[in-house]
Structure 1
Amino acid sequence: MLFPHQGEWIELEQGRLFWQRDFLPLKQSDEIFDYCLNHLDWRQEAIMMFGKSVMQPRLQAWYGDKSYRYSGLTMNPLPWTAPLLALKQQCEIQANNRFNSVLANLYRNGEDSMGYHQDNEPELGRNPVIASVSLGAERRFTLKHIATKQTFSLDLTHGSLLIMAGELQHHWKHALPKTRRCQQPRVNLTFRNIID
């Protein structure tokens, strides 16, 4: 798989990442961040964790062509908006991969988080490619190898792109931990291809 624009491949044991700090120009990053904060249909949903229903510690929105189910939650898509569709097309060029949906996450401050998990639902396919655009506050993204417990972290910055590819979802979990240092919001747009 080739990525035509400048960036950095990070080869992990049984997985690979592509990281580009300056994927979006600052003006576009600011505009999309403002658009997402003010125009996406943000919701806080309940999911099943360890047999219990709990509220997610973040807000989410789902746009695209397909429904998505995880942790007992079914997300029915809202139609693409022009800004999300344009950004999807930019990500498709960079990832050399087609996407038909985007999961948007809003972390209101450092108290909002995402626990360790794998994006390995059957509808994502065998080795899913997921393109993740970060907007707003910088946050630490952490991966942990399931077998070896090896860890790897990146500070995801405003306008950056992280692509998870290869066998990564089979062997690694990833998380966005809580932090007291961050008091500002962050939007994360994760473009995916949902298979029937």
Structure 2
Amino acid sequence: MALTLLPLPAAEVLLDTHFLPALLAQTLLTELTTSIAWRQEPIKLFGKEVLQPRLTAWYGDAGAQYSYSGLTWQPLPWTLELQELREQVEAACGTSFNSVLLNLYRHGQDSMGWHADNEPELGREPVIASVSLGAARNFRLRPRDPQRTPHEPVTLELPSGSLLVMRGSTQQHWLHAVPKTARPIGPRLNLTFRRIVTA
């Protein structure tokens, strides 16, 4: 399959649910879960310091520093597996990336709250390419301002091996999240490739 544009106003969201073969997706999940330098960082939420409800890691080119939620990340050097996957994603998107944020959702109670990837170092209209490995989780989208962008919230189930791309004005007009689920569910690893604008 190829990337398919979803019919959303003021956004460019594309999805390929069969980007990686099942065996390769499973192999990458196993290798990356054990080899990546995972961290669980504290963040400020409603004035309180809590641990992020997932494990995270930041890899990329030298100088591709990234700040969000009060955290500043210095990139770890690319591993062979991450470099090979970056090349596949770049070929599919026609875009070059210099960094990747990895999120490991260990179970259904790990989650990601509503947000936009709109930090200054990503530029005005960033391309965010997201590869999912492991258990399928719901990915939700909703308009940042429903009056300016009238549309119902959207739920996409992202299976293992899928590639989701957000580009154009998506981050200006839409928020996204990965909600918790009460269903018993295995781990999901998500890799979001980005380009940090460096001086």
The TM-score normalised by the length of structure 2 is 0.93
Letter of the 2:16 counterpart:
Q
Q: CA deviation at 1:6?
A: 1.6
In structure 2, distance between residues paired with 1:28 and 1:44? 27
Partner of 2:29: 33
Partner amino acid, structure 2, of 1:113: S
* Residue 102 in structure 1 maps to residue 100 in structure 2: yes
Matched, 1:189 2:191: yes
**Distance across 1 between alignment mates of 2:75 and 2:53:** 21
Counterparts of 1:16-55 in structure 2, within 5 Å, are 16-55=12-51
Q: Indicate the residue corresponding to 2:139 in structure 1.
A: 141
- Alignment identity in percent? 51
Deviations 1:75-102 (A, max 9, x none): 1111000000000011111111110000
Number of residues paired by the alignment?
192
**Which residue pairs with 1:175 in the alignment?**
177
> Distance between the aligned counterparts of 2:123 and 2:7, measured in 1?
21
Does the Cα contact within 8 Å between 1:144 and 1:173 map onto a contact in 2?
yes
- AA matched with 1:14: A
Instruction: State how 1:55-134 maps to structure 2 within 5 Å.
Output: 55-65=51-61, 66-134=64-132
* 1:130–1:164 contact (8 Å) kept in structure 2: yes
Gaps in structure 1 of 5+ consecutive residues: none
Structure 2: segments with no counterpart, 5+ residues? none
* CA distance, structure 2, for counterparts of residue 127 and residue 57 of structure 1: 27
- Which residue identity is paired with 2:29? F
The whole-number CA distance in structure 1 between the counterparts of 2:184 and 2:95 is 33
- The 8 Å contact of residues 137 and 182 in structure 1, kept in 2 or not, is answered as no
The CA RMSD measured in Å over matched residues stands at: 1.1
Q: TM-score by structure 1 length?
A: 0.95
Which residue identity does 2:109 align to in structure 1?
Answer: E
Q: CA deviation at 1:26?
A: 1.3
Query: 1:157 is matched with which residue: 138, 159, 163?
Result: 159
The superposition leaves residues 6-43 of structure 1 with CA deviations (integer Å, 9 ceiling, x where unpaired) of: 23111311101110011001121111111111100111
Deviations 1:131-155 (A, max 9, x none): 0000000000000101116311100
- The residue type paired with residue 69 of structure 2 is S
Report the alpha carbon displacement of residue 176 of structure 1 after superposing the two structures with TM: 0.1
Task: Tell me what 1:15 maps to.
Answer: 11
